[in-house]
Amino acid sequence: MEQSATIEKPTDIKKDLLLLYQMLLIRRFEEKAAEQYTKAKIRGFLHLYIGEEAVAVGVTQALNDDDNVLGTYREHGHALARGIDADVIMAEMYGKQEGCSKGRGGSMHLFDTSKNFYGGNAIVCGHLSMAVGMALASKKQKKSTIACCFFGEGAAAEGEFHEAMNLAALWQVPVLFVCENNLYAMGTAIKYTHANIDLEKKGAAYGIESTSVDGMNLMNVMAAANTAVRKVRSSGKPYLLVCNTYRFRAHSMFDAELYRDKKEVEEWKKRDPIPQFEEYLLQQKLITPDEIKEMEHKTEKKIQIAVDFAEAGTWEPIEELTKFVYSELRT
């Protein structure tokens, strides 16, 4: 697959450390979520983002606070990168009222309007048309905001992907489509679901500027995302960014993962985005080994606080079962 060759080196030391902290926070959050799931503290479906951290962090850093962000059901990383607190995300996954969706959404439906984060969408590809609608609204209202839509390569095989791309190009709306190509969708290799596995070429069919990037390299993702966002914002036109990445864990906690070789997974782990970025920071003398250890400790402490917050949370009273479900009719 063709990759974007541009590498933009971060120059802001504080920003560098924040980016590393965000990736570590996502990794530790997901590991703890898996642990709590095995204890039946978290129920339902659970899709982990481990291995893909560079995409969420690298793309989100290019966005403004008032931009709209939409994600798939593998959205914990996007939510954390967007600034939603780990406490309320964990509480949501526990089903507690203190969660960001008041405990009614769970793992797949994280939602926070204060962060302009609109899911967590469980239907594959269902949110692409929503992103186009949000972008159209921004255009109609003459706002400078854009819509950023994360989705997997499995969604790119759906009819709605083509409908959304077509309308985005037809209406010329400011939407950034970010395809997180982790090669296996739910459990089928990309070569069996896409006639052309160079997914960035799908954008050309609609006249949408597109590129692909190594999604395991934070700096590469940042460079590509910064360029993409700048173009969308200045032109008001859609853009397709394909981030070629890999999930280290199974599709979900229910997945027996019989469709890929364990040796392949181990090979991809050698390209883990977190050690890669840590090594860059060490080489540039922007961080020390002791500071990395300190940051690890900080993230672990933060995750434990999130678990404690969720454990202490409250269940919704049964008498409120129909709240937000039925609308009161007034005469």
Has residue 69 been placed in a domain? yes
Query: What's the number of domains the chain is made of?
Result: 1
Q: Is the pLDDT of residue 111 over 70?
A: yes
The answer to whether position 328 is within a domain reads no
38: confidence class by pLDDT, cuts 50, 70, 90: very high
Categorize the per-residue pLDDT at 8 as very low, low, confident or very high, splitting at 50, 70 and 90.
Answer: very low
Identify the pLDDT of residue 12.
53
User: From CA 80, how far away is CA 295, in angstroms rounded?
Assistant: 16
- Distance from C-alpha of 200 to C-alpha of 100, rounded to nearest angstrom: 34
What one-letter code names the amino acid at 35? E
Domain of 179, CATH number, reads 3.40.50.970
pLDDT of residue 330: 61
Distance of CA 174 to the CA centre of its chain: 19
Q: Which structural domain range is residue 21 located in?
A: 13-313
Q: Name the DSSP letter for residue 317.
A: P
Report which residue type is found at 304: Q
Q: DSSP string of 1-51?
A: ------------HHHHHHHHHHHHHHHHHHHHHHHHHHTTSS-S-----TT
Q: How confident is residue 196, by pLDDT bands cut at 50, 70 and 90?
A: very high
Q: Does residue 214 belong to any structural domain of this protein? A: yes
The size of the chain, in residues, is 331
Please state, as a whole number, how many other Cβ atoms lie within 10 Å of the Cβ of residue 81.
Answer: 27
In a domain, 108, yes or no: yes
Angle, nearest 10°, between helix axes 13-38 and 218-235? 110
Residue % of the chain over a pLDDT of 70? 95
Residue 206 lies in a domain: yes
Stretch 139-157: mean pLDDT: 97
Instruction: Please state, in angstroms and rounded to a whole number, the distance separating the CA atoms of residues 234 and 174.
Output: 9
Q: What are phi and psi of 150, to 5 degrees?
A: -90, 135
Is the predicted pLDDT of residue 4 greater than 70, yes or no? Answer: no
- pLDDT for 220 beyond 90: yes
- Residue 5: pLDDT band (50, 70, 90) is very low
Q: What is the mean pLDDT of residues 228-242?
A: 98
Radius of gyration of the chain (CA): 20
pLDDT of residue 329: 62
- State yes or no: pLDDT of 178 exceeds 90: yes
Residue 319 maps to a domain: no
- The answer to whether the CB of 307 falls within 8 A of the CB of 36 is yes
Query: CB-hemisphere CA count at 13 Å for 253?
Result: 21
User: 10 Å Cβ neighbour count for 236?
Assistant: 16
Contacts of 327 by beta carbon, 8 Å cutoff, 6+ apart: none
Sheet with 209-214, edge to edge strand ranges: 117-120, 68-71, 147-152, 175-181, 239-244, 209-214
Task: Count the neighbouring beta carbons within 10 Å of the beta carbon of residue 47.
Answer: 24
Average pLDDT, the chain: 93
Query: What sign for the dihedral angle of Cα 75, 78, 79, 80?
Result: positive
Query: Which residue bears the tokens 């003459």?
Result: 142
Mean pLDDT of 111-134: 96
Question: Is position 326 within any domain?
Answer: no
In the predicted structure, residue 272 carries a pLDDT above the cut 70: yes
d(CA 199, CA 195): 10
Using a pLDDT cut of 90, give the percent of the chain over it. 89
Give the residue, 276 or 12, on which the prediction is more confident.
276
Residue 323's pLDDT is what?
Answer: 84
The mean pLDDT of 147-172, rounded to a whole number, is 97
Q: Regarding predicted confidence, which is higher, 15 or 197?
A: 197
pLDDT tens-place string over residues 157-167: 999 999 999 99
Whether the per-residue pLDDT at 11 is higher than 70: the answer is no
What is the rounded end-to-end Cα distance, in angstroms, of the chain? 61
- Contact between 247 and 226 under an 8 Å Cβ cutoff? The reply is no
The pLDDT score that the predictor gives to residue 2 is 39
